[in-house]
Structure 1
Amino acid sequence: MNAIPQAFEFWQDGRMPYVETRRSCFSRTCYKSHSHPTFSIGAIDEGNSVFQSSFGTPQKISTGTLVIVPAHIEHSCNPLPDQAWSYQMLHLDIAWLNQLYSEFQKQGLDLHLPQHKPLIIKEEILYQAFSDMNETLFDPEKLIIEKEQSLIYCLTQLLLPHFMLEEIQKTEYLYEDFLELIDIIKSSERFISLEELAEQVGLSRYAIIRLFKANVGLTPHAFQINLKINQARAQLKQGISLAELAINLGFSDQSHFHKAFKAHTGITPRQFQLAAAQ
């Protein structure tokens, strides 16, 4: 891939609203454990990092490695201590990807909760195919139809056939109660305390923590912050002011929102907003 003159850059286009991609160069930023509502594919361009998830064992990964993270799967990927790394990260809308699977008569992915473990692949042909496709998305000289065709071809002909995703064993322990908890959190404009959640569903605080860790790999509070950050990403693209957004999402103040956003995305809300507007 060509040298990148800036630390990070985003590409998105309203004509292809189902894909967003990012390239980061020589980054030392570390991320908190988090998840995305999208199906994500990452590629390590340079350096070494450690990938971790509650649904697998920590793994050291290096240049030329692809990391596939199904929607809603808790994970983190950070450089080794005192080292920098360069990487790419592509996010795909899960409904669009399911439709693509359907067109090729492949089994779809879960739209709501995690069913598959992350997957790590070290294969030069696949890494290069992904990098070439991502380069096409970033290329301002390429027509939108070329970008769409490159994405679909790369996914269906090169990448997806190699993604042998292992299903996560779901627990039936109070699963309906867990779904109710998710709905309560998603419908609230503010953060809900553990005590409030316990009162609303009639479970102990311990049981609620256990449910969240078993099903999404995060504590209830971490899940709520992660949900708010994903909501913030969408609203920042619409140009909303940071102060207004912090209040709307239930953060105590703009500083609290700023710190949480950077811890989950590696950049500030303003940096994300400016990059998304380009």
Structure 2
Amino acid sequence: MTELPAGDRASYRLLDILDGTHALRAEFRHRRFRPHFHDTYVIGATEQGAEIFEARGGRHVSPAGSLRLINPGEVHTGAPPRAGVWGYRCLYPSVSLMAGIAAELGRSAPPFFPDMVVPHPALAAMLLRALAGAEGPASRLGREARLRVALAQIVVAQGAERPEIPPMRRAPQAVERTRRFITDHLAQDIGLAEVAQAAGMSRFHLLRVFKAETGLTPFAFQAHARVVQARSLLGRGLSVKQTAAACGFVDRSHFARVFLAIVGVTPAAYRDAVAPTAQRVSKP
């Protein structure tokens, strides 16, 4: 089964606070994430070394002491520097959670973070302490309060209103039809001709338009949508084998490779971290 490269470490867990938000602590020397996105925010801080990543058409560096703020749906990569290390902690808060925090601050909408890397050692240290404390023996009240205060401070300092998208840049209906068709057929081995027919355009045109609008090919979007569904099923206690079959992966090995490349931990490790023992229907 696919495992992390030697020298890489990652610990994924489901917090019992903040509506069951997921958190990750990792130290990577070899792991390189392919372009991917999350349906949540990614709010984290680099503890050591630096992260090198591509997003919004450019290259970014997140050194130790900086925040990394990724909005939901933003395609990005992630890797340590050459012959270096990338150590970090991050949280994956949902849109509804961040909307609630923003509302408590008197804002009418979930925050949009215009800067993906923020060199702010004080805020980064606050977030790192709150994330470390979330795994400690303190009361639930204290752990949640520290994390909420850290997130609120980040929203106040860095959050903005989401910019309006000019009409010419709005995703065409064909792209939305493609998204829906792929997500409605995740367990099936669909071909490009079927997807193009559902989109109502030629295969070549679809490939160009979809990549231009989403930053991903239809095949890459399919892999991500399958992983999103897989995370939900693993969290409900399904086995790795059952989840792979339900999400349309060829086999467990293929599933493990794709899941690890996007999430950063193996499906089995993710399931062990987030699925309550009582709900696990069988061994991985």
Distance 1:203 1:25, change over 3 A: same
Aligned residue type for 2:38: H
Given that residues 18 and 96 in structure 1 are in contact (C-alpha distance below 8 angstroms), is that contact kept between their aligned partners in structure 2?
no
Q: Deviations over 1:13-58 (max 9, x none)?
A: 35543521111135431111111000111211111221211x1410
Which residue does 2:158 correspond to in 1?
163
* TM-score, length-scaled by structure 2: 0.84
Given that residues 73 and 117 in structure 1 are in contact (C-alpha distance below 8 angstroms), is that contact kept between their aligned partners in structure 2?
no
Which residue does 1:143 correspond to in 2?
139
**Following the alignment from structure 1 to structure 2, what is the Cα–Cα distance between the partners of residues 267 and 246?**
15
- Between the two proteins, the alignment pairs up a number of residues equal to 266
Distance 1:242 1:127, change over 3 A: same
Worse-superposed segment, 125-134 or 100-109 = 100-109
Structure 1 residue 198, shift from structure 2 partner: 1.0
Which residue does 2:81 correspond to in 1?
80
Q: Deviations over 1:80-137 (max 9, x none)?
A: 1232221111100112212322232214249xxxx86552101111111111111221
**Following the alignment from structure 2 to structure 1, what is the Cα–Cα distance between the partners of residues 204 and 84?**
38
Distance 1:242 1:202, change over 3 A: same
Structure 1 residue 174, shift from structure 2 partner: 5.9
Aligned residue type for 1:243: K
**Following the alignment from structure 2 to structure 1, what is the Cα–Cα distance between the partners of residues 171 and 262?**
29
Distance 1:247 1:74, change over 3 A: same
Gaps of 5+ in 1: 1-5
> 2:175 is matched with which residue: 174, 178, 182?
178
**Following the alignment from structure 1 to structure 2, what is the Cα–Cα distance between the partners of residues 116 and 185?**
29
* TM-score, length-scaled by structure 1: 0.86
Gaps of 5+ in 2: 1-7, 277-284
> 2:43 is matched with which residue: 41, 44, 48?
41
Which residue does 1:50 correspond to in 2?
52
**Following the alignment from structure 2 to structure 1, what is the Cα–Cα distance between the partners of residues 129 and 89?**
11
**Following the alignment from structure 1 to structure 2, what is the Cα–Cα distance between the partners of residues 8 and 19?**
17
Q: Secondary structure at the match of 1:23?
A: strand
Given that residues 24 and 86 in structure 1 are in contact (C-alpha distance below 8 angstroms), is that contact kept between their aligned partners in structure 2?
yes
Distance 1:174 1:31, change over 3 A: closer
Give the percent of matched residue pairs that are identical in Structure 1 and Structure 2: 23
Distance 1:174 1:58, change over 3 A: closer
Which residue does 1:12 correspond to in 2?
14
Q: CA RMSD in A?
A: 2.4
Which residue does 2:94 correspond to in 1?
93
